[in-house]
Chains A and B, each alone.
Chain A
Amino acid sequence: MLKLALVDDHKLFRKSLAALLGTLEGVEVIYESDSGKDFLSFLKENKDVDIALLDIQMPEMDGYTLCGKVLNTHDTIKILMISQLSSKETIRHVMQSGAHGFVTKNSEPEQLELAIRNLNTTGFYLGPELGSVLKDLMLFQQGGNELQPDSDFLSDREKEVIRLICRGKSSAEIAEELFIHQRTVETHRQRMINKVGAKNFIGVIVFALKHNLLDVEDLS
């Protein structure tokens, strides 16, 4: 049973989201509140939250700050940011905050379900909003000091792993396909994250796209 937490100051929306999530199979909403602080206190007692859905615009503590704090103490929790905003600035901020995925409040319920499933299997979710913005972000980011890495900065194996992850495969499935151990897959992931200096795997993807180690088409 996937354990979900919801933090959003818009009460009506939060309750509707909880109701919607409650209809999904294998998903249970164990916590919802309108305050980031309350959520943090909750987390001190209860450690087994799998996924946390955080609203960005909140009066007391905004989503980015909350995300950072949660990941500080509970880095196994997957964070899905929700917001009404979908500007490039917002998405860039989301990616920098270490969150694992992003959906808009206006998303279709199917997309929401996909996001949660993906977060669970691959550990991140790249929705259509991020996808279309990523391309612009690649051109937008002025990485002056970044040298163009060698084409073998990422090993072929690592590139393969990225591609399979982008297609939504879980670590177990990737291991099967590549005839390697699941643990090896996890290691590859972590190593890539470290190499690129990102906070999570999305950063790796952005990096790969930027330096043409990956094509946008590879992202389904």
Chain B
Amino acid sequence: MNIKEILPLIATILAFSPLTITFFRKTNPCFNYEMLAIKPYLWLIFIGAFYELIFTSFLRIPSAYWFTAYTFLEFLALWYFFRELLGLRYMYFFKGTMFIVIVGFLIILYYWEYNIHTTLEAYLLVPILLFVFISSFIWFKDLFNKEIISLWIIPSFYFISGLIIYFSGGFFISLLYDQLKIITGLSETNWLVFVSGLIIMYIMITIGVWKGTEKKP
């Protein structure tokens, strides 16, 4: 096995860890609402990793459909997370984004073709990426109004940092994947950038979950 295969494997394994931790440790009451908000996303990446492992790696079923669906589900989970985190003040923002993305998703389904599906997903990623960035920005802004002693103890800090890094790193690769696939050999290497981003994000989320929980008495 070379690095091209190890890294995705590591990413898949790491994807299991956040949710698993929540089974073995109980939530720190201070961060209750944050942990509840991230739960759907944790489930998603767990199931995603599960799917990858079983269906794709073992059974070698093409994952194209799954990727497209995953992109949308990912948006839903993150939409839920940020909505819980930011509160009711930004309802218009959330409703608007949801509307745009649903419309975008339907359009993509309409034009869906196997060859270009990654590029289509990348188009969908544009509003999603903006959504993540803007929500993170709002969260950071609101943070200053509160009396926070240290950012490093808040689980959400890790979640959001992880998400930002992952989405920034993964955007262009998704956009240019189909192009790069034509230019052979390079796509796989470049895909590793994406996988690395994924690994970093999973690590951050794991740390966040760890910070947000405490030992079961």
Do any CB atoms of chain A lie under 8 A from CB atoms of chain B in the complex? no
